[in-house]
Amino acid sequence: MVFTINYTTSENQTMKSDIEIAREIALKPIGKIAQHIGLPEDELMPYGKYKAKVPYQLINADDSKACLILVTAITPTKAGIGKTTTSVGLALGLEKLGKKTVVALREPSLGPCFGMKGGAAGGGYAQVLPMEDINLHFTGDFHAITSAHNMISALLDNYQFQHRNTDQQLKQILWKRVLDVNDRSLRQITTGLGGSGNGVVAESGFDITPASEIMAILCLANDLDDLRARLERIILGYTYDNAPFTVKDLGVSGAITVLLKDAIHPNLVQTTEHTASFIHGGPFANIAHGCNSVVATKISLTFGDYVITEAGFGADLGAEKFFNIKCRQAGLQPKATVIVVTSQALKLHGGVDKSDISKPHLEGLKTGLANLEKHIANVQGFGQSVVIGFNQYGFDTDEEMDYMRQWSEERGATFAINNGFIKGGEGATPLAQAVIDTIEKNPSKPLQLTYENEDSIETKIEKVATKIYGAKEVSLGKKAHTMLKRIKKFGLEHLPICIAKTQYSFSDDAKALGVPKDFVFSVEDMVINAGAGFIVVIAGNIMRMPGLPKAPQAQNIDLVNGDIVGLS
């Protein structure tokens, strides 16, 4: 977590690091965690003593009375917001208030963990554990996806090699390769060099594993049959007749399904206070939909009364896709949405200099609230009841918080202070109570999606860009127009859209903080993810393979007397 470094509590004491806190917790055997939510222990597929896969076949969520709660955030800034920490903290708080709670989250990627971030499993006293395992290989899901993806790549290149100089050879290959590592050198490569025995020379490249279409597929599949059907539909390239060439055409959908037969089952772990937690899947939140798997959410709804889940980046990206893609495909109806906010992030949106955000600054904060206001209106536009989860820092003043409380109420949202990071469930009960009250007294309406399946792709883009982002209009580039024709030709206009844009602004300009207005939203290209079941709409340069910084986190990660250090 970003904001654990030099974090000081409201009592001005320096906190222990995430991994120090994690190590102090005496974990319960995973069978006990299962028992607590009424999940039969003998159904578990254990991975060590504290992790287990749970067969997705146990899902029975269709007539579930469980309350699904989405945690999202304002537009992220460099300061970090603590969304995962809030999701976990809220679960702890609900459990403290006697509610049977399950939290469903994404799996972290190894790349950023060894690059910049050093882990992503919540923070402070609101973590999912064992955090070392979750941040490393966990139960092997990412590795299975990497294998499946690259197996297709190898089989596809072999197809090209075996059919070289015939009319069966493909004109264009779209499918690249993936690795779960930050490696800028692999973004663009030439393969097949060294002579004719080494295949056909081709331009290729590696994305990071969370950017694999297979990751998105695993996270949207309802079951193994659905997974297989989606894999079959992946478009790998085009023939000389401009017909799509799919995994089905390659004849290997069975083999690829076999590689994912374990990865499809959700992973059960526990929080710092032994709340059940399903951590499963981790698709990018720009070129994919950025939520944990449908099966993890549904199995949580099967066994929990309150289920917390989260969506990547700010609500304009994460929540929009959660509603318009995941809820649409999986038939989910969230009962409330929590928008996470910190005073630091609000001040940055309000134009306060980075050096001043750790001091009181009511005026800057007031200006920054415009960003939150737009997110509240957007989320309410989906029919959702909104709770503001304010992550408190030691420097926040009563005056600031009182102001935000009244301001929120004026906009029909409940304001709640969260201290889950420093106090665990005890610190999150005000937020938990606010969520319970909201669901009981002012529940969300049935989801009002931004667009209909029947809308044209242009209309879908226009609706999201104008309604959610606040754009004046949409402009489509040449490549995007070509792709539009192709999408129509292939009869894929009914698919939802997944807009890939910067997470740092409502617009397609990362530097436009706050609430940009009157901007033209420029779409450059589109990608058909026929397997995942959405059209990726690309606005701006989207990073699919991060690089490493000058001093990578890997230099700090170590094993000291059997304990891991450097993960947080």
Task: Please report whether residue 197 would count as binding a second copy according to CB under 8 A.
Answer: yes
Residue carrying structure tokens 């309000």: 350
For residues 190 and 442, which CB has a smaller minimum distance to a second copy in the complex? 190
Task: Please report whether residue 5 would count as binding a second copy according to CB under 8 A.
Answer: no
Q: Please report how close the Cβ of residue 6 comes to a second copy at its closest, in angstroms.
A: 22
Distance CA 80, CA 525 (A): 30
For residues 150 and 397, which CB has a smaller minimum distance to a second copy in the complex? 150
For residues 149 and 349, which CB has a smaller minimum distance to a second copy in the complex? 149
Of 151-159, 214-222, 297-305, 328-336: span binding a second copy (CB under 8 A): 151-159
Task: Please report whether residue 144 would count as binding a second copy according to CB under 8 A.
Answer: yes
Q: Please report how close the Cβ of residue 195 comes to a second copy at its closest, in angstroms.
A: 8
Distance CA 287, CA 295 (A): 21
Count of other CB atoms within 10 angstroms of residue 199: 18
Count of other CB atoms within 10 angstroms of residue 203: 11
The contact mask relative to a second copy for 519-548 (x = CB under 8 A, - = no) is: ----------------------------xx
Of 31-39, 194-202, 287-295, 352-360: span binding a second copy (CB under 8 A): 194-202
Burial 14-43 (b: 16+ CB within 10 A, else e): ebebbbebbbebebeebbebbebbebeeee
Q: Is there a contact between 322 and 311 (Cβ–Cβ < 8 Å)?
A: yes
Q: Six-digit token pair at 253?
A: 């959908």
| 3-state secondary structure labels for all residues of 289-339 | CCECCHHHHHHHHHHCCEEEEEECCCCCCHHHHHHHHHHHHHCCCCCEEEE
For residues 180 and 316, which CB has a smaller minimum distance to a second copy in the complex? 180
- Single out the residue of 184, 472, 488, 494 in contact with a second copy (rule: CB under 8 A): 184
Task: Please report whether residue 168 would count as binding a second copy according to CB under 8 A.
Answer: no
Task: Please report whether residue 158 would count as binding a second copy according to CB under 8 A.
Answer: yes
Of 200-208, 324-332, 372-380, 505-513: span binding a second copy (CB under 8 A): 200-208
Instruction: Provide the sign of the torsion angle of the four alpha carbons 18, 23, 29, 33, taken in this order.
Output: negative
Task: Please report whether residue 564 would count as binding a second copy according to CB under 8 A.
Answer: yes
Q: Is there a contact between 292 and 309 (Cβ–Cβ < 8 Å)?
A: yes
Task: Please report whether residue 354 would count as binding a second copy according to CB under 8 A.
Answer: no
DSSP secondary structure of 127-154: EEESHHHHHTTTTSHHHHHHHHHHHHHH
Residue carrying structure tokens 């006990």: 32
Per the annotation, binding residues are 77-84
Q: What residues make contact with a second copy under the rule CB under 8 A?
A: 45-49, 53, 110, 114, 136-137, 140, 143-144, 146-147, 150-151, 153-155, 157-158, 161-162, 179-194, 197-200, 202, 204-205, 224, 228, 251-252, 254-255, 257-259, 261-262, 547-548, 550, 552, 554-559, 564, 566
